[in-house]
Structure 1
Amino acid sequence: MNTALKVAVFASGLALAFGAAYGVGHAVGRTPTPAAGHAHDTAGHAAQDEHAGHDDHPVGGLQVSDRGYTLSLDRTIVPAAGPTGLSFRVLAPDGRPLTAYKPAHEKELHLIVASRDLTSFQHLHPVRAADGTWTVPADIAKAGDYRLFADFVPAAETESLTLGADLHATGDYRPATLPQTGRSVTVDGYTVTLTGDLAAGKAGRLAFAVSKDGRPVDDLDPYLAAYGHLVVLRAGDLGYLHVHPDGEPGDGVTEPGPEVDFTATAPSAGDYRLFLDFQHAGTVHTAAFTLTAGAGAGADNAPTPAPTEPAHHH
């Protein structure tokens, strides 16, 4: 082989070697594109940051993990047998059970248990063990699908989190249609009358007046540092709103009834279930309403998910 040919072959070999190394280097060094919907999706976080502080009542409970925290149930399938022990942990971003919380409304964690057809609702306060395990008895009397909402503030955070997870109760499941109510409901001998409406993207006043035997109840008990607590769930996907009342006991302005006022914003048009907890004479009562939110200023143009039958039938 002559000298010129040897040089050409040697140069070709170098070009191939450098080309391969370049390709491998790019394959190894390339930052993978985050998968759509990933908990740590940077675009999603940018969108959240952009809208932070612009929505007083953001929807929660649609994710089992958020901001690195995960709701982990010990059992996701239970018998429909009435009183049932539930246990779970909140896993911190390092994967360990979270043990440090900031109390919110006198409790470290509020647990909401609601059936997917929105006919059953419980507001519970579990007990936490030193290892971070929460336990609480719940009344799971009817077969079907339930959603658990853990509402809490980690000690390392400044804002609350609401994580959601599904629970399935075995048995003969007969889903119900969304309950329809008027503006007044009666529970445990108390009549609660609602004034005000929900509007998508627009803050509105909701006022609940409590009476008993035709007389206004003007001596409501303080319950969890308030005269009432309101949980709003969107029909279809059970998007969660925990709305706190206007004013609080002892502020010199807020009266202990008969009316408890809230300011709420619906994230989209559609049907919602409203669950009001109030306490009188040492006993907590829950009044449930169904409202349809109309389109308002700043409303989400996306249609509200239509109610569907739960996916798991046991």
Structure 2
Amino acid sequence: MFKLNRVFLFDGSKAPQESSHSDGHGGHSHHHHHHHGGGHSESNLKAIFSFPAGTLKANENARINIQIKNSDDTIVKDFELGHEKLMHLIVVSKDLTFFNHIHPEFDGAGEFTIDTTFPTGGEYKIIADVLPKGGSSTTLSEWVKVEGEAEMSGAINADTELMKIVDGKEVELTLSSMNANEEVTLTFNFVDTQTKEGINNLEQYLGAVGHVVIISEDANTYLHVHPMNEAETGPNAAFMTDFPKGGIYKVWGQFQHQGNVFTVPFVVDIK
């Protein structure tokens, strides 16, 4: 079954928030871009990210509380499962070197909570992906500041070769097109580094052969892409999307093999 792609354009005019406390407005994605009839970011919803410790510090346990609110400040309390979870939370550093895909727990009364850690100081974007009951898939984001020493971050450069070795696997990515506003098939191919044989026993991860998250260099565009054939087990896994504009994008493919989830990052230059 072909799954629709979801594309969200965040408001690029917002600077990263200096405060780790959200006022419910700064940096949220009130702009949306509709592709393939996929979900969008509903402007009448907002996410409130709060941190019981008051500040976020590198390499320390950070508890994040999240509430989704309507425009009248009432709390949304009913959500539907999206790929086996009520919320997918994506955390990326400003230079996109750090990526984390985690799943907060829901208390049933309107609050999601998760404990996580940030590896270094600096700015991070937190992206909450939810499906309110009776609504459509919605993504809301916020920039947060993490205290601590920040690593020197360089420019994000496109990979010269789209092949990575992760957990004993050679993973190659091919794109049917490198042009914006065209349907693009992203195909991941998996080969065992020892035997050089194709891996054909990938396992289901969150109800599918894999999940792909794509974020633009400025972190203002977020694409969550589902596989064309969810029941695929390798050695290939194909995903279809389209890039809303040209530029540098980072692609994270997430898959499961022999009980372990592994993440493969690529950087592509879309014309």
**TM-score normalized with structure 2 length:** 0.80
Give 1:135 shift: 1.2
CA distance in 2, matches of 1:136, 1:278: 22
- Contact 1:69-1:91 at 8 Å conserved across structures: yes
Larger RCO (CA under 8 A, 6+ residues apart):
2
CA distance in 1, matches of 2:97, 2:40: 20
Partner of 1:191: 170
Q: Which moved more, 1:122-131 or 1:86-95?
A: 86-95
The structure that has the greater radius of gyration is 1
Partner of 1:270: 247
Give 1:100 shift: 0.4
Instruction: Please point out which of 143, 149, 152 is paired with 1:172.
Output: 149
CA distance in 1, matches of 2:179, 2:114: 35
Which blocks of at least 5 consecutive residues in structure 2 are unaligned?
Answer: 1-12, 14-29
- Correspondence 1:204 to 2:184: yes
Partner of 2:220: 238
Give 1:57 shift: 7.8
Secondary structure of the 2:117 match is strand
CA distance in 1, matches of 2:184, 2:166: 25
What is the identity, as a one-letter code, of the residue corresponding to 1:128?
F
CA distance in 2, matches of 1:202, 1:58: 16
Write the mapping of 1:80-159 to structure 2, written as runs, cut at 5 A: 80-157=58-135, 159=136
CA, structure 1 residues 183+194, in 2 after alignment: closer, same or farther (shift >3 Å)? same
Partner of 1:163: 140
Q: Percent identity?
A: 28
- Contact 1:119-1:179 at 8 Å conserved across structures: no
CA distance in 2, matches of 1:190, 1:82: 32
- Contact 2:158-2:248 at 8 Å conserved across structures: no
Instruction: Please point out which of 56, 71, 78 is paired with 2:47.
Output: 71
What is the identity, as a one-letter code, of the residue corresponding to 1:277?
Q
Give 1:90 shift: 1.1
The CA RMSD over aligned residues, in Å, is 2.5
CA distance in 2, matches of 1:93, 1:113: 25
CA distance in 2, matches of 1:151, 1:259: 27
Give 1:239 shift: 1.1
Deviation per CA, 1:90-146, whole angstroms, max 9, x where unpaired? Answer: 113341222101111111111101111000001111101132111112231111110
Which blocks of at least 5 consecutive residues in structure 1 are unaligned?
Answer: 1-36, 38-44, 250-254, 295-314
- Correspondence 1:293 to 2:270: yes
Partner of 2:3: none
CA, structure 1 residues 230+99, in 2 after alignment: closer, same or farther (shift >3 Å)? same
CA distance in 2, matches of 1:198, 1:102: 34
Partner of 1:31: none
CA, structure 1 residues 287+184, in 2 after alignment: closer, same or farther (shift >3 Å)? same
CA distance in 1, matches of 2:126, 2:40: 12
**TM-score normalized with structure 1 length:** 0.70
Q: Per residue, is there more helix in 1 or in 2?
A: 1
What is the identity, as a one-letter code, of the residue corresponding to 1:170?
E
Deviation per CA, 1:136-181, whole angstroms, max 9, x where unpaired? Answer: 1223111111001111111021x21111111211112234121543
CA, structure 1 residues 162+198, in 2 after alignment: closer, same or farther (shift >3 Å)? farther
Secondary structure of the 1:140 match is coil
Partner of 2:18: none
CA distance in 2, matches of 1:183, 1:218: 20
CA, structure 1 residues 88+175, in 2 after alignment: closer, same or farther (shift >3 Å)? farther
Q: Per residue, is there more strand in 1 or in 2?
A: 2
Partner of 1:5: none
Give 1:276 shift: 0.4
Question: How many residues align structurally?
Answer: 237
